[in-house]
Amino acid sequence: MEIGKIPENILKRSVMRQLKTKRAEVVVGSSVGEDCAAIRLEADEEFVLSTDPITGTAKDIGKLAVLVTTNDLASAGATPVGIMLTVLLPPDSEEATLREIMQQVNAACEVADIQVIGGHTEVTDVVNQPVISVTGVGKVKRGGMISTGGAKPGMDLVATKWIGIEGTAIIAKEKEAELRAKFPDVIVDAAKAMDQYLSVQKDGQIAAACGAAAMHDVTEGGIFGALWEMAEASHVGLQVELSRIPIRQETVEICEFYDLNPYQLISSGCMLIATADGNGLVHALEEAGIGAAIIGRTTEGRDRVVSYDGETRFLEPPKSDEFHKVL
């Protein structure tokens, strides 16, 4: 496609026609010539906003764009309503690529019950692979937002599902041939299929209903990064037991093969939650079919300590995510 704004005929057939999910709150949504969207809220509701780029992989980028923002909104205890997308494509892109991205977006929107309310699509030589910047719009009852900084000393720390979900799935897809030469097909297939667990919408809904004090979607920087950020935002310390952090064998195998630290690997699909009743929350999550484990507690002071086999280490501020070493 030619450099510049996507032509109207391509915009209509490969973008607009692919988007079918609608929300009653949307007054003005995505349309040719519309630069702004409008959403109606009830008197007792508030907006919750989130923004992220998808740059690490081009595979399933449309799906990831929706999941990343709905996960952020879920971490705030919010109901997702709409997203706005800026899609940047390199000049060698075919129209079929754009159509496939938007079909991925629509499929993920249908699952999450969220509408694309606006955006911009452009071909530019400043990118060498598709890039999406996504802004999510959600709503929450007034005073009901849950922040990352709501943890208090003496609370349980709960992690849902497993760490490394997103990183494992991305690496398995990007490096599939290389991994199949090393591992049995069952390992690689299972690793690729981990992307089915990327959403934390249900995790967040259950945690909010159980009175969670703080929630954080475990993304870049992995569980160590999420723990640090929650502690920093909440002004608390941490005592975490490494052996309690749930991890899949596929993640272990791939991380050992590429010499990656799984505790610093992007982990969308895993939610970190601070709560006064960790056992009650774990039980509620497991009743809904979501695995979870208490991995530690918040403490007074500012020490962020991780223990394993009688030894301890102190957490440090998040560094570059481990998956960048592979991709």
Q: What is the mean pLDDT of the chain?
A: 95
DSSP 197: G
Residue 176: band (very low, low, confident or very high) from pLDDT cuts 50, 70, 90: very high
Strand partners, 307: 241, 312
Ranges of each domain in the chain: 4-141, 148-325
pLDDT band at 131 (very low <50, low <70, confident <90, very high): very high
Task: Enter the tokens of residue 155.
Answer: 């609370």
56 confidence band (pLDDT: 50, 70, 90): confident
Tell me yes or no: is domain 4-141 CATH 3.40.50.300: no
Question: So what's the pLDDT on residue 34?
Answer: 82
Measured CA distances, 287 to 202, 281, 292 (Å): 12, 10, 11
Dist CA 194 CA 61 (whole Å): 15
- 148-325: which CATH architecture? Alpha-Beta Complex (3.90)
Confidence of residue 59 (pLDDT cuts 50, 70, 90): confident
Confidence of residue 130 (pLDDT cuts 50, 70, 90): very high
CA distance 171 to 254: 8
**pLDDT recorded at residue 319:** 86
* pLDDT mean over 293-316: 94
Check pLDDT > 90 for residue 139: yes
Q: Quick check: 251 pLDDT over 90?
A: yes
Q: How far apart are CA 145 and CA 141, in angstroms?
A: 7
- Residues 133-150, mean pLDDT to the nearest whole number: 95
Which of 1-5, 122-126, 203-207, 302-306 has the lowest average pLDDT?
Answer: 1-5
187-231 tens-digit pLDDT:
999 999 999 999 999 999 999 999 999 999 999 999 999 999 999
* pLDDT value of residue 32: 86
Q: Is the pLDDT of residue 57 over 90?
A: no
Distance CA 287, CA 284 (A): 5
Q: How far apart are CA 48 and CA 127, in angstroms?
A: 30
Residue 133, CB-side half-sphere exposure with 13 Å CA sphere: 8
Q: Could you report the per-residue pLDDT of 6-50, keeping only the tens digit for each?
A: 899 999 999 999 999 999 999 999 888 888 999 999 999 999 999
Q: Quote the CA–CA distance of 87 and 66 in Å, as a whole number.
A: 13
